[in-house]
Structure 1
Amino acid sequence: MTTVGELHTLLEQRYPAGSAESWDRVGLVSGNVTAPVHGVLLSVDVTDAVIDEAIELGADLIIAHHPLLLRGVNTVDPRRPKGRMISRLIRSDLGLITAHTNADIPAGGVADSLAAALGLSETRPLRQVPVYPADQLVTYVPVDHTDAVLDALSAAGAGAVGTYQRAAFTVTGTGTFVPGPGARPAIGRPGRREQVAENLIEMIMDRRLRNQVIAALLDAHPYEVPAYHLTEVARPADLAGTAGMGRIGRIAETSLAGFADQVAAALPKTASGIRVAGEPDRMINTVALQGGAGDDLLDVAREAGADVYLTSDLRHHPASEAIAWDGAPALIDVPHWAAEWTWLPRLRDQLVGELDDVSVKVSEINTDPWTFRV
C-alpha cells in the first residue's frame, strides 16, 4: 500500500526540492508519512473549495503547485485564511505536498506541459538552469545490507542521473577492521580483527543534497561508524537539454491573432481571458514561454529571437519597455492559473503510471482569483 512518505519520495525523485529557488517553500506540508494513500487530488492552489473537493472525493492527499505557506505565518488562528485551511487539513487527515519552482524546470514539468498544450515542437529551455556541482559518494556496506542502504541513499536523492534513479556501482570485496576498547560493533568483538564480505558502493549526487544523503547513510548503515568519503566532481551539462526555465520552440506559421486564438482554445477558460501586445497580422513561427509570472525572461525571449513571448502577470512598465525594442517579440499575457494548470494532467499520468493502487484526480475547480470583468 502506498504511503504519504512513499509518494513524497516519488515526487522528490522527479522534482527534487533541492532544485527549488532559495525563496521557495516546497515539499511535505502536512500529513503523516506512514499514512496510506488511496486517493490524490491535484490542484494549482490550495483553497477552501479545493479542500472541500478533496474531502468529498475521500482523498487522502492533495498535491498542489503553489505553496500554501510560501510566506511565513506565526499563527494557525482559524479566523485567518491560512490558519483555517491548515486546521482543516489536519482535522480531515489530509496530507499536502507542494511542488513549485522545482516543478517548473525539469522535463515533464510545468514549462514542458505548457509548451505541449500549445503545440510547440523542437522545444528547448529558454534559459538553461545553472549546472550544479556534484559529489561522488563512496561507502562500504556488508553484502546483506547493500540493498537497504542503496534504497535509503536513493530516497535521499543520491543516484539521480537524468531520468534514471538509484544509479550506483557496486563491487564485492573484503573489509577488515579491529574494534577498539569501548566500541559496540554490529559485527565482531572489541580487540579482535574482523573480516567481512562488503560491497563498495559509488553514487553521484547533487552537492546541495550532501547533508541529507550523509544523514540517510548514517541512519541506514548497520555499522556503528560507517566508512565513507566524498569526492567533489564536475557535473556535465544536461546532454538532453531538457531542463531549464521556460521553453522556446516552433509552431506552424500563423498570424499573431491566429496564435492567440489557439492559446485561448488550449487553456482553461477564465474570466480575465488573455491579453496581446502586437499587430494582429504579424506572422508567428518561434514561440517562447514561461508558466507563471515571467517578466524576468522578457529580455531572454527577445535575445533568443522569439516572435512572441507568452507568460503571465506582466506589469505595465516591463511590458511597455519590452515591446519598445527593435525586433521585440509580441507579448501574450495569459492567466497564471490557466497556464500552470496544464501541468496537472501530465502529473496525473506520471503518477498513474507509477502507482497501481492510488486514484489520482485533477481538480475541476478554477482557482483563478478573478471572477468577472466589466
Structure 2
Amino acid sequence: MVDELAPRELAAPWDSNGLICGDPSWSVGHVLLAVDPVQDVVEDAVSRGADMIITHHPLYLRGTDSVRADDAKGHVVHTLIRRGIALLNAHTCLDAAHGGVADALADQVGLRDMVPLEPSAQDPQVGIGRVGQLERPVSLRDLAERVAAVLPDSAPGLLVGGCLEEEVETVAVSGGSGDSLLDAARRAGADVFVTADLRHHPASEHLEAGRPYLLCGTHWATEWVGLPPLARGLAQRAAARGWRLETEVSAVVTDPWALRVPTGCWRP
C-alpha cells in the first residue's frame, strides 16, 4: 500500500526506499509514522505497541558494513529485531507523489492551482516541490506567521528573508533541504520559497538578486506535515480491502536542535 501512495519509480536514483528491517511475511496491524528512524522513535513505537514503523528518511542511505549493537544505528536495528517491529521508509518517492510531502506542505500554506516545481520524468504531473497561488495577496510578514502556525514546533522556528511588508501571492514550497531548488523557484516566478536547511551563502546571494523571498523552516518540520496524509491514506486503503490497520503519527520531535538561545546584547 505504501508503494501505491508513494510509487518507487518517483524516487531519485541515489535514494533508498522500501523495507529496511523485518520479515515480509509478518502481519501488520499497527503502524507508527515518523520522519526519522532514530531510537526515540523506536521506543515510541514500542510504547504504543506498534508492529511497524514507516519513516520518511532511510536508516542507511549510503550502506554500512556493520550493525553492531553499540553503534547508534545498529542499536536501532537490534531493538527492532528483538521487539519484532518492521521498519520501512518512503523518502523522495513520498516527496514527489500525489498527496505526498510537497502537496501536504502546499496545502498547509494555503496554495491553489499547484504544479510541480521540478516535474518528474516518469510523471510530469508530480515531482519535487510545488508552486501555486495564495487565495489573495498578503504581506511576507503575514505569510510567515501563517506558515509558522501550521508547522510543528521545534526550537529553530522559522527564518524569514526579504522585505517583510511587500505583498506576495505566488509561492513555491519544498520540504527538506532547498538550496538546490532556489533557481527553480525563481524560474517558476515565485514571490516566496518555503523550504528548509538553507545555507548562508546560497541564501544571501539569492536574496541579493531579488525574489523569491525565503521562508526557512527545519528539515524535520517541513517534512513532518506529509505524515498525517500518508497515515490516512494507508488506513483508508486497508479498510477498502477489509483489513484492520491502526495508523498513528509520532509526536516525537526528531529535529536535532533542542534549544534556541538569543545571542549577543546588541540588537539592530
Indicate the residue corresponding to 2:119 in structure 1.
Answer: 128
Indicate the residue corresponding to 2:104 in structure 1.
Answer: 113
Higher Cα radius of gyration? 1
> Using the alignment, how far apart are the partners of 1:332 and 1:125 within structure 2?
18
Deviations 1:266-319 (A, max 9, x none): 101110001011111011111011111011110111111111111110011111
Indicate the residue corresponding to 2:250 in structure 1.
Answer: 363
Moved over 4 A (4+): none
Indicate the residue corresponding to 1:372 in structure 2.
Answer: 259
Indicate the residue corresponding to 1:72 in structure 2.
Answer: 63
User: Any idea what SS the aligned residue of 2:105 has?
Assistant: helix
Q: Does residue 1:45 correspond to 2:23, yes or no?
A: no
> Using the alignment, how far apart are the partners of 1:304 and 1:23 within structure 2?
25
Q: Does residue 1:352 correspond to 2:239, yes or no?
A: no
> Using the alignment, how far apart are the partners of 1:17 and 1:289 within structure 2?
22
User: Any idea what SS the aligned residue of 1:349 has?
Assistant: helix
Deviations 1:233-286 (A, max 9, x none): xxxx64xx3x01100011121110110000110101110001011111011111
Identify which of 209, 226, 250 aligns with 1:343: 226
Indicate the residue corresponding to 1:332 in structure 2.
Answer: 215
Percent identity between matched residues is 44
Deviations 1:168-187 (A, max 9, x none): xxxxxxxxxxxxxxxxxxxx
> Using the alignment, how far apart are the partners of 1:75 and 1:52 within structure 2?
22
Instruction: Check the 8 A contact 2:10/2:120 in 1, yes or no.
Output: no
User: Any idea what SS the aligned residue of 2:152 has?
Assistant: coil
Identify which of 4, 21, 25 aligns with 1:34: 25
Instruction: Check the 8 A contact 2:5/2:233 in 1, yes or no.
Output: no
Deviations 1:324-373 (A, max 9, x none): 11x42111101111110101110111011111301100101111110001
User: Any idea what SS the aligned residue of 2:33 has?
Assistant: strand
User: Any idea what SS the aligned residue of 1:351 has?
Assistant: helix
TM-score (ref. length: structure 1):
0.67
User: Any idea what SS the aligned residue of 2:248 has?
Assistant: strand
Compute the displacement of 1:58 (Å): 0.9
Deviations 1:91-126 (A, max 9, x none): 111101100001111111110010011111111111
Amino acid at match of 1:31: G
Indicate the residue corresponding to 1:293 in structure 2.
Answer: 177
Amino acid at match of 1:36: S
Indicate the residue corresponding to 1:19 in structure 2.
Answer: 10
- Unaligned regions of 5+ residues in structure 1, if any? 1-9, 133-236
In the TM superposition, 1:230-245 aligns within 5 A as 238=124, 241=125, 243-245=126-128
Count of matched residue positions in the alignment of Structure 1 and Structure 2: 256
Deviations 1:63-102 (A, max 9, x none): 0001011122111111110111111111111101100001
Amino acid at match of 1:122: D
User: Any idea what SS the aligned residue of 1:355 has?
Assistant: helix
Indicate the residue corresponding to 1:248 in structure 2.
Answer: 131
> Using the alignment, how far apart are the partners of 1:119 and 1:328 within structure 2?
20
Compute the displacement of 1:14 (Å): 2.4
User: Any idea what SS the aligned residue of 1:259 has?
Assistant: helix
Indicate the residue corresponding to 2:265 in structure 1.
Answer: none
Compute the displacement of 1:26 (Å): 0.9
Amino acid at match of 1:361: E
Amino acid at match of 1:68: L
Alpha-carbon RMSD across the aligned residues, in angstroms, is: 1.1
> Using the alignment, how far apart are the partners of 2:230 and 2:167 within structure 1?
33
Compute the displacement of 1:13 (Å): 2.4
- Unaligned regions of 5+ residues in structure 2, if any? 262-268
Deviations 1:106-155 (A, max 9, x none): 1111100100111111111112112x4xxxxxxxxxxxxxxxxxxxxxxx
User: Any idea what SS the aligned residue of 1:69 has?
Assistant: coil
Identify which of 84, 92, 95 aligns with 1:93: 84
TM-score (ref. length: structure 2):
0.93
> Using the alignment, how far apart are the partners of 1:354 and 1:311 within structure 2?
30
